[in-house]
Amino acid sequence: MMPQDAPSFVDAWSHEAALAMVNRLEDEIGQVIVGQATLIRRLLTGLFAAIPFANAEDGAPRAGCGHVLLEGVPGVAKTLTATTLARAIDARFQRLQLTPDMMPADIVGTRIYDAKNAAFRIEHGPVFTNILLADEINRAPPKTQSALLEAMQERQVTLGERTFPLDDPFWVLATQNPVEQEGVYSLPEAQLDRFSMMLRVEYPDAAHEREMLRASSRRAVRPCIAPADVTRLRAFIRDTVVVEDGLIDYIVRLGRASRNPAEVGRSDLADLLAAGISPRSYQHVLALSRVTAFLHGRAYVRPSDVKEVFLDATRHRVIRSLRAEAENVSVDAVLEALLRRVPLL
């Protein structure tokens, strides 16, 4: 397994070769998942984003994949897409169907007393995997949801007095149904902040729906890359895609505008926002923008890359005011207004 702070691989790979690997992966998933090309592209963006999360004992920075929250009604291929992606990268995969009676030990594991040896032993939970699908995460109570916080942020799990590092890559995909309101628990801000993106999964168009019905069967997914390749590609994109200082300033201006719209001449939006995005979210926007530029075949980030991922990376981090909820003003509408107003320079 590759270390989390892997070398750059600039000499080993060219941008064309690395992009060809990702394109093969994208095409393979697209052979099974019909009508969700944007969803597949965004998932790959999160998978290969180098999100900084901690420093190693030697002080070296570490990074992991960008976790993704999928929101959509049942039947739009959220779970199927996650399962197909896991098979395409030949990764260890665990699916958790979260329910109100689930306990934290059902996710991370627990200590079990072994009477024969008169000692406790550790039983690892399903979180010890490469890709964890937390299906209907908002059906689990807050105590159980919080069991994922350490794993998602620090890529480790503490059981008793011992701390166990998780394998790299470790990637959490979670789904939630925005329609049902009974028997669900809203995700707290601390949990939402662990997700790099919140993707709204829409219905496919009519042509793709007809294509689904005409397909007599779906072929098996063929593995395209190995889990170790995910770590290497993530490091390659981080180390080779250039971000100029002007783009960093642009991301900061966007974030500050979400907290104080009056700075960009939109004081009318201030009453619609109770809280804007945090400085930590800038790192997510930056990492996602790098991958977006790479997927467009470039070794440098443009403002258009930032704009492409900004809504997905921030909509779940912004809190609407009571007035916005009463007037049914969406977070996306406010963020789009800020995107149009914040200057590039």
CATH of domain 241-341: 1.10.8.80
How many alpha carbons lie under 13 Å from residue 39 in its C-beta half-sphere? Answer: 27
Whole-number average pLDDT of the chain: 87
Predicted confidence band of residue 182 (pLDDT cuts 50, 70, 90)? low
Q: Sign (positive/negative) of CA torsion 103, 106, 109, 110?
A: positive
pLDDT digits (tens, 9 = 90+) for 253-276: 999 999 999 998 889 898 999 889
- Predicted confidence (pLDDT) per residue in 81-99, tens digit: 899 999 999 999 999 999 8
Rounded Cα distance between 59 and 57, Å, is 5
Domain with CATH 1.10.8.80 in the chain: 241-341
Instruction: Give whichever of 26-30, 118-122, 175-179 has the largest mean pLDDT.
Output: 26-30
Q: How many CA atoms lie within 13 A of 128 on its CB side?
A: 15
What's the order of all strands across the beta sheet hosting 131-135? 93-97, 131-135, 171-176, 68-71, 197-200
Residue 122: predicted pLDDT: 79
**C-alpha closest to that of 5 among 75, 57, 73:** 57
End-to-end CA distance of the chain: 42
Using the predicted structure, report yes or no on whether residue 330 has a pLDDT greater than 50.
Answer: yes
Choose the CATH number for 15-222 among 3.30.450.20, 3.90.660.20, 3.40.50.300, 3.30.70.2080: 3.40.50.300
CA 333 to chain centre: 22
Q: How far is CA 194 from CA 97, 286, 314, in A?
A: 20, 15, 12
Residue span(s) of the chain under CATH 3.40.50.300 come to 15-222
CA distance 243 to 229: 23
- Are the beta carbons of 334 and 268 closer than 8 angstroms? no
Cα angle 150, 319, 327; round to 5 = 150
% of the chain surpassing 90 pLDDT: 49
Question: Which pTM was predicted?
Answer: 0.89
